[in-house]
Amino acid sequence: MRGLRRKTDVMANIDAPVLHVRHADLTRTDDSMFRSNCPVCRLGILMVRRSDRFRLMALDCCIRCGQQVIYDDIAELIKFDENRP
């Protein structure tokens, strides 16, 4: 079994195909609107990346397993972010 990686190992999914997800369907890690549990490893966090101009980005990746995701509902999330105090 040496050399085989589980999907929960650190950076195990860095080369996996990008997943399309809806941010609204993900489980939040705490009271933050922008932190969600990774849908693949369930141990890592998706934090919703921001551009250098602090705009939310559709492409994100789990800080544990490296799984990349694209938020299909990013427009709704950007609208929410722009309208909060």
pLDDT tens digits for range 34-67? 999 999 999 999 999 999 999 999 999 999 999 9
Residue type for 84, please? R
Residue type for 11, please? M
Distance, CA of 55 to CA of 85 (rounded, Å): 15
**CB under 8 Å to 40, separation ≥6 — which residues?**
7, 13, 16, 19, 62, 65, 67
Residue 66 sits at the vertex; the CA angle it makes with 62 and 72, to the nearest 5 degrees, is 55
Q: Strand 59-61 to strand 19-21: parallel, antiparallel, or no bridges (unpaired)?
A: unpaired
pLDDT at 4: 54
**5 pLDDT higher than 70:** no
pLDDT band with cut points at 50, 70 and 90 for residue 1:
very low
Report if pTM > 0.95. Answer: no
**7 pLDDT higher than 80:** no
